[in-house]
Amino acid sequence: MSAYTLRWGIIATGKISGQFAKDLLVDPSTREVSDVAHKITAVGSRSTESAQKFIDGLKNAGKGDAWSWGVENGVLDQVKAHGTYDGVYQDSNVDAIYVGTPHNLHFQNTKDALLAGKHVLCEKPFTIDIEELEELVTIAKEKNLFLMEAVWTRFHPIAYAVDEVLKSGKLGKPKRFAADFSMEYDLDSKPDSNRFIDPALGGGSLLDMGPYPSVWAMLLVHRNPHNKDKNPKVVSSYQSIYKRSGVDLNSRWIVEWDGLCHGQLLTDLSSAGLQEATAVLQCSEGDLIIEYPPYKPETFHIVPRPARDLGAIKEKTTHHVPVHSGNHGMSYEADEVARCIRDGKTESDRMPWEESKVVQRWLDDVRKNGPSSTKDMKGNAGQ
């Protein structure tokens, strides 16, 4: 049986869209995939020239570039440059839209694509607030269209390897959790228009970085076989402020899974993250530790508890599970989208709408209960 081929339209031509496009051009067989394939059939930007420049950049892949395979094997043969996003939405040669715009534009771009009858993969954070997300889900349901937040980490090989450890039961019941995405970004050297600094763009650490400690909270605790609480809530939060623009420099929040454990999540633009412990799940029989970076880790450890509290895990083991050679890591989520659309699904079992809503509510709670200049920022639901 031949592979199901999904035709993609890409919205915006920034760095993240470029990386996604390159991963679509990588030979699927290099990640052991043969049931789905991809084509890029449209690119939308603020001008036709900008869209064409993006396409030309992809076509100019060198022989050592993994995405040169797609250039040589027809993945770009039907691609068209559009000087507007609407041109991509209305393109009959497009099945699904990848939304790679700044996150304050995600709602409107995704809504427009859905209303035009296109399936959508939208970059994280999905929306500015839960009201926007609820509206998008309603539209997707009404129009029977696939919709997913692009939390690429959920589809990396390490995420599946960690699943198997948790399902085995060897670690026992979760006792507590912590996850951190921090980096020394040097905000003082950046212009006021920088996406981390400008409140109008949803600046600060929370919205941009928050999905990454959250993904490990979801994978290690929320999806843990021991968890029964499907709507864990933020019970405490704190934000430090970057005085120049009033956005959050760092955000900390504690989530409670009723009857199970608490988790502490952190985003920070002022300090480097921990190399060997970007996420830690401590359990009754031993601990699971994810190495930095939280968005694309490739190594985890299973570690014994301290000697005075020793559990069933007696020796430390290290597990290296990299993404496949030549892939940046966004190809896996693209494969998931293709399979779901092929199978007539409107949402992914691995990245369902309800779990996007859980994380969106966390971000809403932390932002709205903090002192940052984005505290009162509202989305455009209903408009």
What pLDDT shows up at residue 308? 81
With 90 as the cut, is the pLDDT of residue 30 above it? yes
pLDDT for 1 beyond 80 = no
pLDDT at 230: 97
Q: How far apart are CA 245 and CA 194, in angstroms?
A: 11
Strand partners, 268: 182, 250
pLDDT digits (tens, 9 = 90+) for 255-305: 999 999 999 999 999 999 999 999 999 999 999 999 999 999 999 999 999
pLDDT digits (tens, 9 = 90+) for 114-136: 999 999 999 999 999 999 999 99
Decide if 372 contacts 98 (C-beta within 8 A): no
- Give the confidence band of 80 by pLDDT, cuts at 50, 70, 90: very high
Per-residue tokens: 206: 């929370």
What pLDDT, in 10s, does the model give residues 6-27? 999 999 999 999 999 999 999 9
Look over the chain and give the mean of its residue pLDDT values, rounded to a whole number: 97
Nearest of 136, 41, 29 to residue 90 by alpha carbon: 41
Predicted confidence (pLDDT) at residue 241 exceeds the cutoff of 80: yes
SS3 277: coil
pLDDT at 310 over 90: no
Res 93: pLDDT: 98
Tell me the domains of the chain and their CATH numbers.
4-151 (3.40.50.720), 157-322+357-368 (3.30.360.10)
Question: DSSP letters along 151-208, please?
Answer: -GGGGSHHHHHHHHHHHHTTT-SEEEEEEEEE----GGGS-TTSTTT-GGGT-SHHHH
Burial label for 349, CB within 10 Å (0-12, 13-18, 19+), is: exposed
